[in-house]
Amino acid sequence: MQETQPSSLLHIPVLYKEVPEVLIHNSDGVYVDGTFGRGGHSRIILSKLSNQGRLIAFDRDPEAIASAKNILDPRFSIIHAPFAEMKNELDLRSEGLVDGIFLDIGISSPQIDDPQRGFSFRFNGPLDMRMDNSCGLTASQWLETAEEQEIAKVIKEYGEEKFASKIARTIVQYREKAKLETTEDLANLVATIVPRNRKDQGQHPATRTFQAIRIAINDELGQLKRALNVAGSMLKPGGILAVISFHSLEDRIVKRFFDSMVNPARHIDPRLPLLPDQLPKALFERSSRILPSEEEKDVNPRARSSVMRFARRTSEPWRETK
Ligand SMILES: C[S@@+](CC[C@H](N)C(=O)[O-])C[C@H]1O[C@@H](n2cnc3c(N)ncnc32)[C@H](O)[C@@H]1O
């Protein structure tokens, strides 16, 4: 594989040993990496494929797409689109079913560490938070226009923040006088309401609010739910879907999805008068979970909260699920 980026600049991908072991069962196959980032996992997957194998990657971040241009490998292609759109994008290119789909969801280190992207309260920068900064509302624009109740709901549900209502009220009062334009504006405002965590003094009071607004701005949970269903319809029988998530809101969605795929009969109304052979058949099988080893957590702190869940597509024809 030709490579124009020095390997010392590449970050360590999470569960980098386990991902190819779980995902690649046919080295001549076609694989999808829905979250290219800086291509850590993509490069590992490519290194395990034969000359016949192919990898199609996606990312919604234009900077990730630009960095993918460093991979000069004819087996590799990159598409700028949200992963919920991956089936439409592959259909447009007349791709058939694929052998494996991988998602490493959330934000990348380069996104968090660039003050201009506005993801972090650690650096001052424009309050943006869009993964695709070529379209959509910035966090600043959303906070300027959203209803107080909507802001409170987002901070409560996606941040699991008990001061959500008070934060939302204070934001709405603040915006009558001034604009929340920077990460510092928002971090300082939230810090006037949320006390420091007594157990974890290192945690900034705005941590949960930033997470919540980021999830809402990028519709992260909606993207994940749609991508899981779409992925199921894109896999060959025996194909693998593997998803790494970093917090409980996402992991819960992935876990429930695989449960409902592996045990669909448990998810239908038991009062329905169905015979055993009329019960829906499993669309996925062998669902499992892998956590990072202690060794990996020591070397790569980003791995600490990661969970990978994966399962294998059965030969049962795909049916649309809720
Ligand atoms: C955790 S990073 C992936 C890191 C990557 N596995 C690596 O080794 O470099 C997540 C990436 O997924 C992208 N992303 C998140 N949600 C997305 C979505 N709905 N559609 C497409 N890309 C998304 C982000 O822009 C980010 O670049």
How far does CA 315 lie from the centroid of its chain?
Answer: 27
The answer to the question of residue 193 being in a domain is yes
Q: Rg (Cα) of the chain, in Å, rounded?
A: 21
Query: From ligand 1's centre to the CA of 293, what distance in Å?
Result: 22
- The per-residue pLDDT for 187 is 96
Which residue, 171, 201, 217, sits at the end of a domain?
217
Is 261 found in the same domain as 209? Answer: no
154 occurs within a structural domain: yes
- Residue 128 in contact with ligand 1 by CB distance below 6 A: no
Which atom from ligand 1 is nearest to the alpha carbon of 64?
A: 27
Q: Look at residue 116 and tell me if it is in a domain.
A: no
pLDDT of residue 2: 43
Domain that holds residue 158: 133-217
Q: Are 188 and 246 part of one and the same domain?
A: no
Task: Looking at the CA of residue 16, tell me the nearest atom of ligand 1.
Answer: 8
- Choose one of 217, 238, 256: the last residue of a domain: 217
Report pLDDT for 253: 98
**Does 96 lie in the same domain as 140?**
no
Residue nearest to atom 2 of ligand 1 (CA): 108
Distance, CA of 215 to CA of 290 (rounded, Å): 24
Expressed in angstroms and rounded, the spacing between residue 104 Cα and the centre of ligand 1 is 6
Q: CATH number of the domain that 30 lies in?
A: 3.40.50.150
223 lines ligand 1 (CB under 6 A): yes
Ligand 1 center to residue 14 CA distance, Å?
Answer: 12
Query: Could you tell me if 264 and 278 lie in one domain?
Result: yes
Q: Let me know if residue 122 belongs to a domain.
A: no
Q: Report yes or no on 165 lying in a domain.
A: yes
Position 114 in a domain = no
The DSSP code sequence of 274-300 is --GGGSPPPSEEEEEEE---HHHHHH-
**Domain holding 187: CATH number?**
1.10.150.170
Question: Residue 81 Cα, ligand 1 centroid: separation in angstroms?
Answer: 11
| Residue 256, amino acid | R
Low-confidence ranges of the chain (pLDDT < 70): 1-11, 201, 322
CA of 37 to the centre of ligand 1 (A): 5
**Is 192 in the same domain as 268?**
no
Residue located nearest, by CA, to atom 24 of ligand 1: 107
Q: Are residues 78 and 147 in the same domain?
A: no
Residues 213 and 224 in one domain: no
Which helix (H) or strand (E) is 140 found in, with range?
Answer: helix 139-145
Angle, helices 207-217 vs 183-191, to 10°: value is: 130
Q: Is residue 126 part of a domain?
A: no
Regarding whether 263 and 234 lie in a shared domain, the answer is: yes
Cβ(131) – ligand 1 distance below 6 Å = yes
Whole-number Å distance, alpha carbon 111 to ligand 1 midpoint, is 10
- DSSP characters over 233-257: HHEEEEEEEEEEESSHHHHHHHHHH
H helix or E strand, kind and range, residue 42: helix 40-48
Written as six digits, the tokens of 111 are 């996104």
Same domain, 205 and 225: no
When divided into structural domains, the chain yields a total of: 2
Is the residue at 117 inside a domain? no
One domain for residues 47 and 192: no
Asked if residue 39 has its Cβ within 6 Å of ligand 1, the reply is yes
Last residue of a domain, one of 176, 191, 217: 217
